[in-house]
């Protein structure tokens, strides 16, 4: 994983130059915008902002409980368990962004990470990854990329068996965000 080489003001944002030549802006909103993904891609045209969207942390084949199913109307996310989502399996970040919150063994979500993906398709998106086995290896403010390991599957917090509880938050922050059906926004 690349490390920051320099950080300097860029308008009302911060420009971060990584030691692999990639460059991104940390926006006042807490989001980020990649300018150059890597040195080898520097000559390629930049992607449309947010065009990469969000990807599943695990295949849908291992979903064990869906969003707000009739038997669990207050279940605001999707559960992934078994197969590639077995106890200790690395959890892949759904999209580029910045670590927004890290929770340490709270009663509900256990070891947990929330990533702010900034603006995608005109709205702010965050994703939550709960019940991790260990304290997450990322910290608040860390830039993260799609596919990066945010932690490993575990059974901490209010959980009965190792699984990933995954949520998608649309607009707003914390309790004000709307927890939406991930199937509508993740591909
Ligand atoms: Zn769940």
Domains and CATH numbers, the chain: 4-38 (no CATH), 60-184 (2.70.70.10)
For 49-96, the pLDDT digits (tens) are 444 689 999 999 999 999 999 999 999 999 999 999 999 999 999 999
What's the mean per-residue pLDDT of the chain?
A: 84
Q: How many residues does the chain have?
A: 187
- The tens digit of pLDDT for each residue in 139-151 reads 999 999 999 999 9
Residue 124 CA to ligand 1 centre (angstroms)? 22
Instruction: Give me ligand 1 centre to Cα 20, in Å.
Output: 37
In order of 55, 96, 116, 130, 140, the CA distances from 5 in angstroms are: 28, 19, 22, 31, 18
* CA of residue 120 to ligand 1 center, whole Å: 24
The answer to whether residue 48 scores a pLDDT higher than 50 is no
CA of 9 to the centre of ligand 1 (A): 40
Instruction: Tell me if the pTM is above 0.85.
Output: no
For ligand 1, an ion, list residues with CB under 5 A: 77, 79, 165
> For residue 77, how far is its CA from the centre of ligand 1 (angstroms)?
5
Counting residues of the chain whose pLDDT is more than 90, the rounded percentage is 61
CA of 155 to the centre of ligand 1 (A): 11
């Amino acid at each position: 994983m690349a490390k920051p080489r320099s950080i300097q003001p860029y308008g009302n944002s911060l420009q971060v130059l990584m030691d692999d030549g990639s460059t991104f802006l940390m926006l006042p909103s807490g989001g980020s915008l990649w300018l150059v993904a890597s040195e080898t891609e520097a000559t390629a045209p930049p992607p449309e902002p947010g065009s990469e969207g969000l990807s599943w942390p695990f295949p849908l084949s291992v979903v064990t409980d869906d969003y707000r199913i009739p038997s669990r109307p207050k279940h605001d996310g999707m559960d992934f368990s078994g197969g590639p989502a077995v106890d200790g399996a690395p959890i892949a970040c759904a999209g580029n962004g910045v670590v927004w919150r890290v929770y340490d063994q709270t009663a509900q979500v256990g070891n947990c990470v929330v990533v702010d993906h900034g603006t995608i398709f005109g709205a702010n998106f965050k994703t939550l990854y709960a019940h991790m086995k260990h304290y997450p290896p990322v910290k608040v403010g860390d830039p993260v990329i799609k596919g990066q390991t945010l932690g490993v599957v575990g059974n901490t917090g209010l959980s009965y068996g190792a699984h990933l509880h995954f949520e998608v938050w649309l607009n707003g922050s914390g309790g004000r965000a709307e927890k939406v059906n991930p199937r509508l926004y993740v591909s």
